[in-house]
Amino acid sequence: MRRLKNPVTYCLPKIRFFHHFISIPINKNYLKMAQPSKDPTTDFADSSSSTKANNDATTTPQKNAFTELMKPKPPSPPKKDHSQRSTHTKTENAVLIKDLYPKATVHLLLLPRSPTHNLLHPHDAFADPQFLSMIREEASSAAKLAAAELSRIIGPFSKSNKARDEAMDLGQIPYDKLPPGRDYLKEIKVGIHAHPSMDHLHVHIISRDMRSEKLKGRNHYQSFCTPFFIELEHYPLDENDQRRSSRYHNGNLRKDFVCWRCGKEFGNKFSVLKKHLEEEFEEWKNE
Amino acid sequence: MRRLKNPVTYCLPKIRFFHHFISIPINKNYLKMAQPSKDPTTDFADSSSSTKANNDATTTPQKNAFTELMKPKPPSPPKKDHSQRSTHTKTENAVLIKDLYPKATVHLLLLPRSPTHNLLHPHDAFADPQFLSMIREEASSAAKLAAAELSRIIGPFSKSNKARDEAMDLGQIPYDKLPPGRDYLKEIKVGIHAHPSMDHLHVHIISRDMRSEKLKGRNHYQSFCTPFFIELEHYPLDENDQRRSSRYHNGNLRKDFVCWRCGKEFGNKFSVLKKHLEEEFEEWKNE
DNA sequence: TATTCCGATAGTGAC
DNA sequence: GTCACTATCGGAATGAG
Ligand SMILES: [Zn+2]
Ligand SMILES: [Zn+2]
């Protein structure tokens, strides 16, 4: 059973999502689990507001909503209303947040709470069938949220949706004979990075487009668009799966760029790829 | 007998020292050699003034002093008076100019005229004993000029010189018993680069210090401070000399940086090396 | 493969 | 290894209670 590099730096006594400024109590929290959890916060906020809070002039001691965010919750309210303010949800088993540096139009992170799995490499964490099953359910819900968010953003451009709307406006056509609207769930990928940089287990829920200001480097793209990205559905990995090999994944990151949509190659020309992704987005959103 | 890469690009009908803006007629010139050379210019100018000329607003056809610079001269005035305006000299066999991008306090280039050797790789050109002998003489004169120039610049800081001057001021001490002044010729290196970037044969005459604004990249330093720099005295190379190997020289350029004066290593930290060279210069000039 | 900053490295075009 | 421009690549530091 592997452990991630530098666990001390990253994991004790807390795990930090750098630049997300979310603290996720693990060990202390683990001790508290037997005790009644006190003052469970019900606030919603996205991860970036932590940064804003830090910039506030108020120096009075104030609760950091994110320090509390990951506390195990009593099973009472299994889901949270995710209003217009935030797509985040908290369940008994996991927290869902927006990636503060989204690498595509929609990019969420699913963070399991389980302190016995949080610090494991995904291969090992997902080797536990019960845990895997639980995460799959959470991820499935998360993917639906992501699809809804994607639909909200690019739905108005969709030719499929437009055809359906027009047919619907005509009336006369039975509901199950209408042309189907676009299925945005198909545009959502769910999986993990073979070599996560952050020790805390995190599942990416991300739209395919890879169009984002925050997409700044080679690995940003390659880590989502090569086998370096391992879909949650592929777990548990076979003992002999080559995706267990570090060498293999270093190779993936170093491959030439290939457009996820049309297959065009871009060598190592990241900025050319990025321009191309912008063009692809313009077509993709219209599908 | 090797030829340099891209001879067409660089050599025909002229050789250009890029950014020196010196055109060195070779082929046409070769044809003209039998004819009386017309209008031999007697101007002095350093190579940078060509740039200035190009920036002039005058668009009237004007002579480029450097287009004419390399024409073979009748053996009449074998040496030129090198006044304060310029250290350049022109002889029957070669032209001496300041490097427009000096990589050390003093940095001259010796450019042979011989059109039968100009385009050869140094290894091959210097395999001709007569040519080598001629270049050695020219280079020897050039090195003395460089030493004089170096003395002019850093001589005032020299402790050796100061000791000599003070002894001299005392009188009483016989001339041959005075402490010796600093020998600046020892601080001048004469040689070529194993893989010259410019096809036209050029011999570097350069002070050891490598202190210069224009020293901007790894290879600027390594090409003078590793065996990539081949001293003219080492020619002709033995058939089996490893310095004939391209692989060997690529290795030289990729080596870690080593201070030429104290031997300290700098890995690939060019900017750290550069700071250090500045400090070394302060001590070196005082020797 | 968290980001950001800085600097080293690599490819190109120059006329 | 000519220069200069651009962009890619590479290591190191990164909150503070
Ligand atoms: Zn494409
Ligand atoms: Zn030193």
Per residue in A208-256, pLDDT tens? 999 999 999 999 999 999 999 999 999 999 999 999 999 999 999 999 9
Residues near chain D (nucleic strand), Cβ < 7 A?
A 14, 16, 18, 21, 23, 54, 64, 217-218, 268-272; B 18-19, 101, 103, 193, 195-198, 202, 214, 216-223, 228, 250, 253
Q: How far is the CA of A253 from the C1' of D2 (A)?
A: 35
Check whether B43 has a pLDDT greater than 80.
no
Nearest to A41 by CA among A104, A122, A95: A95
Kindly give, in sequence order, each residue whose CB lies less than 8 Å from that of residue A106, ignoring residues fewer than 6 positions away.
Answer: A146, A149, A150, A153, A188, A205, A206, A207
Angle (deg, nearest 10), helices B246-254 and B218-225: 120
What nucleotides of chain C have any atom within 7 angstroms of a protein Cβ? 1-4, 7-9, 14
CA of residue A183 relative to chain centroid, distance: 19
**Residue B82 CA to ligand 1 centre (angstroms):** 64
The verdict on whether omega for the bond into residue A236 sits within 30 degrees of 0, i.e. cis, is yes
The rounded Å distance from CA B191 to ligand 1 centre is 52
High-pLDDT (> 90) share of chain B, %: 68
Protein CA B266 to sugar C1' C1 (Å): 29
Q: Which two tokens stand for residue A241?
A: 């799966």
Q: How far is CA B123 from the centre of its chain?
A: 17
Please report where in the chains the tokens 């070779």 appear, as a residue. Answer: B26
Pairing status of strand A229-231 against strand A203-207: unpaired
Q: Residue B103 above 90 pLDDT? A: yes
**Residue B268 CA, nucleotide C6 C1', distance (Å):** 14
pLDDT interval class at B88 (50, 70, 90) = confident
**Each residue of A102-147: pLDDT tens digit?**
999 999 999 999 999 999 999 999 999 999 999 999 999 999 999 9
Closest residue to C4 (CA to C1') is A19
- Residue with CA nearest to D3's C1' atom: B19
- Mean pLDDT, residues A190-194: 98
Span from the CA of A263 to the centroid of ligand 1 (angstroms): 6
Beta bridge partners of B207: B188
Q: Encode pLDDT of B115-147 as tens digits.
A: 999 999 999 999 999 999 999 999 999 999 999
Least confident among A14-23, B9-18, B19-28, B84-93: B9-18
- For residue B209, which ligand has an atom nearest its CA? 2
H or E element in which residue B109 lies: strand B107-112
Angstrom distance, B95 CA to D2 C1' = 18
- Protein CA A283 to sugar C1' C2 (Å): 31
Name the nucleotide with the smallest C1'–CA separation from A249: C1
Give me the residue label for tokens 């063009």: A279
DSSP letter for each residue of A15-77:
EEETTTTEEEE-HHHHHHTTSPPP--------THHHHHHHHSS--S----TTTTTTS---SSS
- Dist. CA A179–CA A186, nearest whole Å: 17
Q: List B188's β-bridge partners, or say none.
A: B207
Per-residue pLDDT of B139-184, as tens digits, reads: 999 999 999 999 999 999 999 999 999 999 998 899 899 999 999 9
Tokens of A149: 């968010």
Name the average pLDDT for chain A: 80
Taking the C1' atom of every nucleotide in all shown strands and the CA of A195, the nearest one is: C1
Q: Which helix (H) or strand (E) is B130 found in, with range?
A: helix B129-154
Interface pTM (ipTM) of the complex? 0.80
User: CA torsion A112→A114→A119→A120, rounded to 10°?
Assistant: -90
The separation, in Å, between residue A120 CA and nucleotide D10 C1' comes to 28
Q: How far is the CA of A268 from the C1' of D3 (A)?
A: 25
Q: Which residue is nearest to nucleotide D6 (CA to C1')?
A: A271
How much is the pLDDT for B23?
A: 55
Q: Is the CB of A217 under 7 A from strand C?
A: yes
Nucleotide nearest to B254 (CA to C1'): C9
Distances (CA, A) of B168 to B162, B171, B179, B240: 10, 5, 9, 51
- The ligand that comes nearest to the alpha carbon of residue B210 is 2
Q: Among A98, A104, A84, A102, which Cα is nearest to A285's? A: A104
Maximum distance among all Cα pairs of chain A, rounded to whole angstroms: 65
Q: Is the CB of A259 under 7 A from strand C?
A: no
Cβ within 8 Å of residue B5, ≥6 positions away: none
Ligand 2 centre distance from Cα of residue B283 (Å): 10
pLDDT score, position B39: 32
**Dihedral (Cα; A267, A269, A274, A278), 10-degree rounding:** -70
Distance, in Å, from the CA atom of A235 to the CA atom of A226, rounded to the nearest integer, reads: 17
- Residue A276 pairs in a beta bridge with none
At A278 the three-state DSSP class reads helix
Rounded to the nearest 5 percent, the helix, strand and coil shares of chain A are 40, 15, 45
Of all nucleotides in the shown strands, which has a C1' nearest the CA of B19?
A: D3
CB of A216 within 7 Å of some strand C atom? yes
